[in-house]
Amino acid sequence: MLKEINAVLAGFGGQGILFMGKMMAYSGLIDNRELSWLPSYGPEMRGGTCNCSVCLSDEPVCSPLVTAPNVLVAMNRPSYDKFVNTLVPGGILIYDSSLIDVEVERKDIEVYAVPATQLADEKGYKGMANIILLGKLLKVTEFTTMDTMKKTIEKVVPARKQHLIPKNVEAVELGYNA
């Protein structure tokens, strides 16, 4: 388990990047840890690039803006290109290999390629590639427990969409085992 997570999550607007970050943040809240969640809030729109910084720690968070992440989740090529070299040596890269066709050149990082969008489409979780990647992130970094993750899903899924809770749990598990 990573003691301190300084994560950058990045992709297209509309892929649920900020929501994925919020899930991490809420898990930290439930686990009673220190945390921060900082979105990029430029003139961004659906289809544009979008990213957020998430810090999880047992100590108060210093800089909420993550410029040297130890975890990067990339959901499109521009985000991969922009952030891959900011990862600290030994950092963890998780990317959607169905959207990013790339040979990862860095040899000093841990790389996990998950065809999340393809998995989502094939297994009936359309639009939930972000949640699948979150499952992988959970497996690799153990930023929280599966139990907390389930509680997190119950907390963040709005009341009028309660029927989506099991779907989200399944998507996390799908990524976890991918």
Nearest residue (CB) to another protein, 24 versus 119 = 24
Burial class (CB in 10 A: 0-12, 13-18, 19+), 13: middle
Tell me the window of 63-71, 90-98, 122-130, 162-170 that interacts with another protein (CB under 8 A): 63-71
Q: Which of 19, 29, 44 is nearest to 128 (CA)?
A: 19
> Contact between 34 and another protein (CB under 8 A)?
yes
> Contact between 26 and another protein (CB under 8 A)?
yes
**Interface with another protein (CB under 8 A), residue from 14, 47, 48, 64:** 64
Residue 66, C-beta contacts closer than 8 angstroms, at least 6 positions apart: 6, 7, 8, 38, 53, 54, 55
> Contact between 43 and another protein (CB under 8 A)?
yes
Residues that bind another protein (CB under 8 A): 22, 25-26, 28-29, 32, 34-39, 41-43, 61-65, 67-68
